[in-house]
Amino acid sequence: MMHKRTHRVMVRTSLLRYFVLFLFAVAIVGAANSFAATSQPEIPAGSNRVFAQVGSHEVTEQEVDSTIRLQVYNLRKQAIDQVVANYLIEDAAKKDNLTVAAYLKREVDDKAAADVTDAKVKQFYDQNKDKIAVLKASPYDKIKGRLTQVLRQHDTTVQLGKLIETLRASSDVKMLLEPPRFDVASNGHPALGPVDAPVTIVEFGDFQCPYCKGAESTLTSVRQKYGDRVRLVFMDYPLSFHAHAQDAANAALCAGDQDKFWQYHDALFADQSKLSPDGLMATAKKLGLNMDKFDACFKDNKYEAVIAQDIAEGNRLNVRGTPTFFIDGRPLVGASMAGFEGVIDPELASSNKPNTKTASR
């Protein structure tokens, strides 16, 4: 009889190919849709050992650990997910009296092969030949075999993901690894929702950022779904390569002096072509602001220091792009509804409070 440890090693080896990242497939299939940013935590209290010096600046253990803490969590979670998947697949194969390889062939490979037909390959080629260089440079007959392989590799990852999701849903899997949680200095910033809401969402945003504009519809859906269970706080993080972002941030806070921050905020995201000084003044006039007060505030750059503090806070948290969110201190980059639900739902569950009320703007 095979030793259990040896058997598990062989099982892991058999599974390994199913967890290989198909780089070429991802490059082909996802060529037109990509956005990534990284967020890092604040420096925790602890050791002050100096690891390096840059001029007069000492690079301490605290600072180094803060830059890798979130990555360590993400790597651990990825590893846990893979180990859990290994056990789930091994158990499922055993229940069906199959080897792991035979089970995965049936549930993953065969389904991918059946899903990616010649017609679908040709359709993908026709729809993308003018968008993806490698397709544009190759006649269909010459690239058909390689393209079929690539699309089946991609579909294999999709089928594997569906399989693992199904197995996890029907199994008793509990994630006990706690995500990192960080303090964000957001007091006094523009906010929507009750002060005592069980969940607080802090956004680091840029009024000229197209991804921030895109996030607005998701944030509206979040507030509609969770109502007064959530509080939304906005902090400014104007990116240096956006020429009008700093002025827009200052103008929105000037509008806030007249209790119209959120109306101004919405107007800026509704039309990002009006972020020049003239456009910002026109928006203020359209919203019925006292133009003498707004003009003085805007021209004096009244909120320059406040915006600088927001940027410094974002840098302290290693915000690397916009929008970046902190939900009860848990970082979230990107703005999918599923991403918000994946953080908010556990937070609400831990607070033991319902999430059925509806908020109003």
Residue 49: pLDDT over 80: yes
Name residue 204's amino acid. Answer: F
Averaged pLDDT for residues 296-321: 94
Q: Cβ(314)–Cβ(227) under 8 Å?
A: no
Rg (CA), the chain: 25
Q: Measured between alpha carbons, how far apart are the two ends of the chain, in Å?
A: 67
Q: What pLDDT shows up at residue 258?
A: 98
What 3-state DSSP class applies to 244?
Answer: coil
Question: Mean pLDDT for the chain?
Answer: 86
Cα–Cα distance, 229 to 198 (Å, whole number): 6
Residue 41: pLDDT over 90: no
Q: Cβ(273)–Cβ(266) under 8 Å?
A: no
Task: Please state whether beta strands 230-236 and 199-205 pair in parallel, antiparallel, or not at all (unpaired).
Answer: parallel
Q: What pLDDT shows up at residue 351?
A: 64
Cα–Cα distance, 235 to 322 (Å, whole number): 11
Classify domain 191-351 at the CATH topology level.
Glutaredoxin (3.40.30)
Residue 95: pLDDT over 70: yes
Residue 269: pLDDT over 90: yes
Helix, strand, coil % (nearest 5) of the chain?
Answer: 60, 10, 35
Q: What pLDDT shows up at residue 216?
A: 97
Which pair of structure tokens corresponds to residue 34?
């990509």
Residue 102: pLDDT over 80: yes
CA 357 to chain centre: 26
Q: What pLDDT shows up at residue 175?
A: 85
Averaged pLDDT for residues 151-157: 94
Residue 115: pLDDT over 90: yes
Higher pLDDT, 294 or 15: 294
Averaged pLDDT for residues 64-75: 80
Residue 7: pLDDT over 80: no
Averaged pLDDT for residues 120-145: 92
Angle between the 61-95 and 140-169 helix axes, to the nearest 10 degrees? Answer: 90
Higher pLDDT, 239 or 31: 239
Cα maximum dimension of the chain: 88
pLDDT tier for residue 250 given thresholds of 50, 70 and 90:
very high
Residue 301: pLDDT over 80: yes
Which pair of structure tokens corresponds to residue 256?
């806030």
Q: What pLDDT shows up at residue 213?
A: 97
CB-count burial class (<10 Å; 0-12, 13-18, 19+) for 340: buried
Averaged pLDDT for residues 30-58: 57
Residue 59: pLDDT over 90: no
Domain ranges of the chain: 4-41+74-169, 191-351
User: How wide is the angle at C-alpha 315 spanned by C-alphas 312 and 316, nearest 5°?
Assistant: 85
User: Taking the CA of residue 274 as centre, how many other CA atoms within 13 Å lie in the half-sphere pointing to its CB?
Assistant: 18
Residue 279: pLDDT over 70: yes
Instruction: Give the model confidence (pLDDT) of 236-247 as tens digits.
Output: 999 999 999 999
Residue 194: pLDDT over 70: yes
Residue 28: pLDDT over 70: no
Residue 360: pLDDT over 60: no
Of 143-147, 164-168, 259-263, 353-357, the one with minimum mean pLDDT is 353-357
Averaged pLDDT for residues 198-205: 97
pLDDT tier for residue 357 given thresholds of 50, 70 and 90:
very low
Q: What pLDDT shows up at residue 24?
A: 42
Cα–Cα distance, 331 to 325 (Å, whole number): 6
pLDDT tier for residue 52 given thresholds of 50, 70 and 90:
very high
Nearest alpha carbon to residue 204 among 301, 333, 360:
333
Q: What pLDDT shows up at residue 184?
A: 95
Exposure b/e, 291-321, CB count within 10 A at least 16 = b: eeebeebbeeeebeebbeebbebbebbbbbb
Q: Cβ(322)–Cβ(239) under 8 Å?
A: yes
Instruction: Give the model confidence (pLDDT) of 211-235 as tens digits.
Output: 999 999 999 999 999 999 999 999 9
Q: What pLDDT shows up at residue 196?
A: 95
Residue 37: pLDDT over 90: no
What percent of the chain stands above pLDDT 90? Answer: 69
Name residue 223's amino acid. Answer: R
Which pair of structure tokens corresponds to residue 207?
């009024």
